């Protein structure tokens, strides 16, 4: 594969660039097996419809064709846009305070995942993959407390694991 450089100029990053060194959606770390692609997550409804609306030039257009976003100019998180109709997000300020935001991905884990999915590999990959693996504890709670096909059980946890590319509808 030929390396490609991506230039980023959005509201949170100006003059940032990174290299794509792997094919799109391929050659993931063996520990990292997400159920959903970024495109699928956006179409299902995540982050109240306000996350990454200004990043559409960085990623494939088709990712955003069915994405559930708030109306243009509205910056307030709307839980009804989410697949499970509930807010399962913490503000970016909480993520920053807890040290969960890294310089290359100022929007957090999902931005890292989008770039990783596209083929970027970097120094934060191991940390982010470990964080993804740690979310499995919530999946265990869903499986232990809900009937197999009851997607209305533990909706906040289900929305939260969706934000991490796990599909609780299949549990």
DSSP of 146-159: S-TT-TTTTHHHHH
Residue 142's pLDDT is 96
DSSP 9-54: ESSS-EEEEEEE-S-TT-S--TT---SS-HHHHHHH--GGG-TTGG
Q: Which two tokens stand for residue 142?
A: 């869903």
pLDDT > 90? residue 39: yes
Report d(CA 12, CA 101) in Å as an integer.
12
Percent of the chain topping pLDDT 90: 78
Average pLDDT over residues 129-153: 94
pLDDT > 90? residue 155: yes
Residue 149's pLDDT is 85
- Average pLDDT of the residues of the chain: 93
Residue 51's pLDDT is 84
Average pLDDT over residues 118-123: 97
Average pLDDT over residues 154-171: 95
Residue 20's pLDDT is 98
Average pLDDT over residues 105-112: 95
Average pLDDT over residues 112-138: 96
DSSP summary character for residue 98 = T
Convert the pLDDT of each residue in 44-100 to its tens digit.
Answer: 999 998 888 888 999 999 999 999 998 877 778 899 999 999 999 888 888 889 988
Residue 67's pLDDT is 94
């Amino acid at each position: 594969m030929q390396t490609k450089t991506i230039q980023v100029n959005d509201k949170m990053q100006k003059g940032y660039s990174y290299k794509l060194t792997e094919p799109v959606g391929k050659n993931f770390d063996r520990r990292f097996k997400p159920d959903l692609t970024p495109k699928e997550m956006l179409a299902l409804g995540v982050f109240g419809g306000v996350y990454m609306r200004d990043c559409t030039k960085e990623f494939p257009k088709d990712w955003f064709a069915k994405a559930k976003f708030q109306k243009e100019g509205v910056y307030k998180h709307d839980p009804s846009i989410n697949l499970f109709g509930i807010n399962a997000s913490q503000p970016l300020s909480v993520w920053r305070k807890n040290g969960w935001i890294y310089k290359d991905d100022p929007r957090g884990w999902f931005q890292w995942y989008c770039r990783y999915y596209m083929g970027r590999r970097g120094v934060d990959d191991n940390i982010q993959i470990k964080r993804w693996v740690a979310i499995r504890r919530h999946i265990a709670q869903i499986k232990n407390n809900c009937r197999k096909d009851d997607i209305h059980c533990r909706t906040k946890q289900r929305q939260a694991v969706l934000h991490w590319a796990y599909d609780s509808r299949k549990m």
